[in-house]
A and B are shown apart, each in its own frame.
Chain A
């Protein structure tokens, strides 16, 4: 897997800060690439992308934090701080039973979430969905690398200031 940088994506809410990853030589972060796919107003999923963005930036970011109610509970069980290497599982924001978009993320705590990429869910499972299967696999790899970095101290989690830094205090963490 390519080297990637963990960097801030949105931290203007009062409850939760969101990070993202910039992979290899890409110009845009994975989360920006996800939203850019649906950004045009004539895109079929533009409204759903806006709904997801509002849930992230306002409901979770500003009002409630990354509480259990917004995450897949069965997958939450694998989480602990620091997460054990190889045990981290990407989670999915869900907005209703027929919601067509999936955005993978890794909930470090109720106040810090790392967002990845995602896509359109058009099959019963993510792995069967053409637009998701590769993203799901990539998200799992990213979670494993980030989990290891937290576990071995390469990445420092500070829930009080809602920040992630490397062991030298840098806000952009190269992994």
Chain B
């Protein structure tokens, strides 16, 4: 089946093949959302599984996200506005002072692949940027925390969000935190150990 072939080509990081199969699916008139969800997103799920099993590494994830985004750019224009409405909209970024963005990049790609609009605020993001996102109506905010000073910074961001009464769901992850620290020290709503967990939590928070 063509959609399975797209997923498999992406899972095997075959860039030209993924692109040409996506073109073929479009030419054959397949439903664009099926191409995305059953083809490209399914492929990204396989990539994520291989990363979890240590069969793929960060460079492979970067390559997969590039292939995914290029194929998505072909399909996205075909989707009607209603159909393309994301499950939820939010931002993700490394807290101020933190710059190791490999994990954050993977989470961002996997969220996008699963129907979330996750704007990437980048590295060493100032507290104000997160507050701006919240005041702009973000459904969720993702904080990536890689150092002990980053934990302090995240705590400040959460306190500021709470003080201002914003209701965006807050998910955290990164090398410097675990579930206990996320809840007890930072005060986050959720903690994800990896991209797969982040997607699961977000799907629980924002079912279709």
Is the A/B pair a real complex? no
Interface on A for B, CB 8 Å cutoff? none
